[in-house]
Amino acid sequence: MDPKNASPGLNKNLLILHFTVFIWGFTGILGALISVSAVSLVWYRVLIASLSLFLYFKFNKTALKLDMRSFFKLIFTGALVGGHWILFFASIKLSTVPVTLVCLSSITLFTAIFEPLINKKKISKLEILAGILIILGIATIFKFESRYTKGIEAGLLSAVFASLFSIINSRQVKKFEAPVIAFYELSGAFVWISIYLLFTGGFNQSMALRGADIGYLFILGTICTSLAYVAGVSVMRELSAFRVALITNLEPVYGIVMSFVFFKDMNKMTLGFWVGAVLLLSTIFLYPVAQKQLARRKNQA
């Protein structure tokens, strides 16, 4: 779409999404700084996020009632949200922030595959080509960063979960307000993770927080979760799940730069990592250009 002809609403949503992705880029830094395990970290994160949203609703006197079917759908979607974040932070602890964030870029590939299947749409050849190039980029990183195999696997599975709940939310946001969706999904994530911790004996001393953890978790739970999650869902009223996934791939750029500033993580990466990362990210950034060119040719034909 020509920016001159873009609707003010579309431009506003794109701006909100870019700001949200920047905030998400900071979550990797916080995840590396917080001392507890990935599961405990996400449990605290969704607890703080759910409580902050509940207080927001109480203050604004907003109704939270849903029909039973929608309630359970959002609660079960929360399992995907919780799984995504647990795998995301596990990947960081098993590898590095840059490796995890680059793996998360595969959301574009998984969305290109899952969205047409779930929404019963025709699969785009351009999206599949972009997906193949992304696979090559990830395969290159795998080859040269074999010491981080478990971290890469966790990062890729995290991207699968993120792709699935993004597609689900692109449909739910047409029925409900974004804060309501966020509240029930984050509450659902809290419930499912609590059940997991209860049955695995996870509520123990390993969940004890250090002094600095409390501050980091508060920022993670409020700004980086409740606020960013609501914003990320709300833009789906005008933007497709694939376009959201595409822009979300700016997260590695922001995250890797911040990772270098905080941890000097770039010094740990091999040349093979950067070759794969450049292939992956260049595919993501060139995709909209190729899409515009194809649309222009079709209009001229």
How do the pLDDT tens digits run along the chain, 301 residues long? 444 445 566 678 888 888 888 888 788 888 888 999 999 999 999 999 999 999 988 888 777 888 999 999 999 999 999 999 999 999 988 988 778 877 887 887 788 788 888 888 777 778 778 777 877 877 787 777 678 889 989 999 999 999 999 899 988 988 888 889 999 999 999 999 999 999 999 899 889 998 899 999 999 999 999 988 888 888 888 887 777 877 776 776 677 777 777 776 655 667 777 787 788 778 777 776 787 787 788 777 6
pLDDT at 157: 95
Range of the domain at 114: 8-300
pLDDT at 2: 42
Other C-beta atoms closer than 10 Å to the C-beta of 290 total: 13
Angle at 136 between CA 275 and CA 86, to 5 degrees: 90
CA dihedral of 184, 185, 189, 190, whole degrees rounded to 10: -30
Q: Is 137 helix (H, G, I), strand (E, B) or coil?
A: helix
Asked if 97 contacts 257 with a C-beta cutoff of 8 angstroms, the reply is no
**CA 75 vs CA 12, 71, 145, 167, 190: distances in Å:** 29, 6, 37, 15, 10
Asked, for residue 236, whether it belongs to a domain, the answer is yes
What is the pTM for the complete model shown? 0.79
**CA 113 vs CA 26, 110, 125, 162, 295: distances in Å:** 28, 5, 11, 13, 21
pLDDT at 45: 94
| Chain CA centroid to CA 81, Å | 9
Residue linked to tokens 């195999």: 149
Asked, for residue 106, whether it belongs to a domain, the answer is yes
What the block records as the tokens of 21 is 């992705």
* Domains identified in the chain, total number: 1
pLDDT at 98: 77
Asked, for residue 133, whether it belongs to a domain, the answer is yes
Other C-beta atoms closer than 10 Å to the C-beta of 24 total: 22
Q: Is 7 helix (H, G, I), strand (E, B) or coil?
A: coil
Could you give the residue ranges of the DSSP H alpha helices within 95-145?
97-104, 107-119, 125-144
Residue 3 φ then ψ, to 5° = -55, -30
How far is Cα 93 from Cα 89, in angstroms, rounded to an integer? 6
pLDDT at 7: 58
**CA 225 vs CA 90, 208, 252: distances in Å:** 17, 21, 17
DSSP single-letter state for residue 203:
S
pLDDT at 273: 76
How far is Cα 49 from Cα 222, in angstroms, rounded to an integer? 5
Sign of the torsion angle spanned by Cα atoms 144, 150, 151, 155: positive
Asked, for residue 43, whether it belongs to a domain, the answer is yes
How many residues comprise the chain?
Answer: 301
Asked, for residue 2, whether it belongs to a domain, the answer is no
Asked, for residue 15, whether it belongs to a domain, the answer is yes
pLDDT at 156: 92
Asked, for residue 3, whether it belongs to a domain, the answer is no
Asked, for residue 52, whether it belongs to a domain, the answer is yes
**Between 107-119 and 149-172, two packed helices, what is the crossing angle to 10 degrees?**
40
Residue linked to tokens 């700084």: 33
